[in-house]
Amino acid sequence: MLTRISAAALAAFGTLAVAAPGAAADAPHNLIIFVADGLRSGMVSAETAPAFAAVRDQGVDFRNSHSLYPTITTPNAAAIATGHRPGDTGDFGNVIYVGSAFGPPYGSPLAPLEDDVVLGLMNDRFGGNYLHQKSLLQAARARGFNTAAIGKLGPTAIQDVTARDGDSAIVIDDATGYPGGEGVGVSADIARAIAAAGLGRMAPDRGLNSSPGAYNMPGVQVANVEQQDWFTAVAARVLLPRFRADKKPFVMVFWSRDPDGTQHNEGDSLNSLTPGINGPTSLAGIRNASNDLQALREALRSQDLEATTDIIVTADHGFSVNSRQSATSAAARLTFPDVPKGFLPPGFLAIDLAGALDLGVYDANGFAVATGHGVYPRRGGSILAADPVAPKLFVVSNGGSDLIYLGKAAEPGLAARVVEALTGQDYVGAIFVDDRLGAIPGTLPMSAVGLTGSAVTPSPSIVVSFRSFSTGCARPETCGAEVADTELQQGQGIHGSFGRQDTHNFMAAIGPDFKAGFADPSPVGNADIAPTAARLLGLDLGGGGSAVGRVLGEALSADGAPVAAVRHVTRSAPAANGFTTVLDWQEAGGAPYFDAAGMPGRTLGLTE
């Protein structure tokens, strides 16, 4: 029997989204949100990541933590920024379909959101704020707080996505200082302060950490140290002293690219699932992020800010090892010059769907892709059609999950045919369909996992999570693998699926407003960070949308009331071939938390 999130729970989401201004003390404390991109909960120990372990052990251990699905960077960045799930923010993936092509040099209806310029284009197209929600930093600025977002290109700017002139807010990322190349400005005052601190005005590039290698050449074997050292120095030696001198409360988001970037590109496991992202290079990426957190904590102490500053640590998602193997895929039987024989090529889902539906494959610019002649789709997605001027489907690649949008030329019943083709592939784990398409056997509605709401960007018609499994270790979440639609090699890192290895991110908190030495058994997630911060800081995030998080009152020293949790299992009706999507989820404080979803036997962490 298909079950839905209760109406009472949905109503509770709206009431818990924000706390009323004035709920905090008259003099609110400062706040740093430290995002360790791609940090798996089970990988944190005193040996691997001492600074993260210290926050967890001395402060609050959010051991039942959750990334939002899709377990991809920008949907979770939007949730951390606003407290809303993708159904409200419209940020459904790192690459999404936006309806019509942007102008040159993009020329595509697919928007890569880890790009400052594209974020500006998104705002221009969707009413000045493509997220359609107020962010925590925006609300803090409006109340006179000092604010800053610093770190990885894309998710950093999303934290204050409407502040792009360099004067209204401080946003510093990979593009900072590059003449003519930055999508977000930096004020002359901040640029001078960076130089006065003895730091280069331009953010360093990733250097040797940036190359993913190739099918016959290993990727990187160093962490992203130089670039992140610069970000950390700017935060510690420029921004924190300025904030202290201002004698106003501040909110800073620090987005560490590591361990994500190093795990993606690691060169320890070329074409092999082991050691995968548990080799020495990935461990160096974890330690690099831990060192950055430690440096920020030491800077707080040196500026006499530690006693008045709360720190929330989170990861946008967990991580997996990339598998490119399938016994059912026709794409895996094709030959490509840069893909090992028998491996899935990038764009395999589009290739397989095109074959099943007798459609042509075109790239996002409308040029034919000669899949039978050793060419696969690039640039993040494909158009499926008999003629590209009349698209039937847009297939948008997002690693462990793909987004499928019905085009204007899609005929009635096409969605059901797509689902039928998907259920026949061994690499498909879970399938979700737009509620407006009605019930399709084998699938769950997108509303069941927070993918519907008040978004102003186009919503996907079908969302596909790929198969995940353990490569064999004592703690399967730390050695999970998944099939993924990516140009990365087998054995490198990836994420995006609905397996628990991807949904179980690391979360912890410490500071004057949080309990000490508290292990929180209740489910928590990235959508809860902004509402909790708003409660602590006395900010109003507004009330738009219903796919929202809750205030983590059980972890606060001034609240501390326990929150009861209930576990649920939601099952789809089976498809004709028996394929079923099963969803394991929890409910606490009126909010849902999604553990894992997929076909039993194809999803790591699914209880059935």
DSSP string spanning 536-561?
A: HHT-------S-B----GGGBTT---
Q: What is the mean pLDDT of residues 305-313?
A: 98
Length reported for the chain: 608
Q: What is the DSSP letter of 237?
A: I
Strands (E), 185-337: 250-256, 309-314, 320-323
pLDDT-based confidence at residue 269 (cuts at 50, 70, 90): very high
CB 72 within 8 Å of CB 79: no
Q: 90-110 pLDDT, tens per residue?
A: 999 999 999 999 998 888 999
Nearest CA among 380, 350, 574, 605 for reference residue 497: 605
Mean of the pLDDT values across residues 185-204? 94
Average pLDDT, the chain: 94
pLDDT given at position 545: 81
How is domain 15-90+130-179+197-320+499-555 classified at the CATH fold level?
Alkaline Phosphatase, subunit A (3.40.720)
| pLDDT confidence tier of residue 428, bands split at 50, 70 and 90 | very high
Name the percent of the chain lying above pLDDT 70: 95
Average pLDDT, integer, range 312-332? 98
Task: Quote the pLDDT of residue 372.
Answer: 87
Q: What is the pLDDT of residue 181?
A: 58
Cα dihedral 592, 598, 603, 605 in deg (nearest 10): 30
Contact 473, 565 (CB under 8 A): no
Whether 62 has a pLDDT exceeding 70, the answer reads yes
C-alpha 376, offset from chain centre: 26
pLDDT per residue as tens digits for the range 11-60: 333 333 333 333 344 679 999 999 999 999 999 999 999 999 999 999 99
Pairing status of strand 428-433 against strand 444-445:
parallel
Closest by Cα among 411, 378, 371 to 396: 378
pLDDT digits (tens, 9 = 90+) for 578-607: 999 999 999 999 999 999 999 999 999 998
Residue 313, classified by CB atoms within 10 Å of its CB into exposed (0-12), middle (13-18) or buried (19+), is buried
Closest to 84 measured CA to CA, from 553, 453, 593: 453
Closest to 91 measured CA to CA, from 593, 459, 496: 459
Is beta strand 582-588 parallel, antiparallel or unpaired with respect to 524-525?
Answer: unpaired
CA nearest to 155, candidates 188, 189, 191, 184: 184
- CA-closest candidate to residue 185, choices 173, 193, 199, 198: 173
H-helix or E-strand spanning residue 582: strand 582-588
pLDDT of 238 higher than 60: yes
- What pLDDT score was predicted for residue 1? 33
**According to the model, what pLDDT value does residue 357 have?**
98
The pLDDT-based confidence of 165 (bands split at 50, 70, 90) is: confident
Question: How far is the CA of 301 from the CAs of 135, 187, 199, 236, 565, in angstroms?
Answer: 28, 27, 22, 11, 37
Domain extent listing, the chain:
15-90+130-179+197-320+499-555
Q: Provide the CA 155 distance to its chain's centre, in angstroms.
A: 9
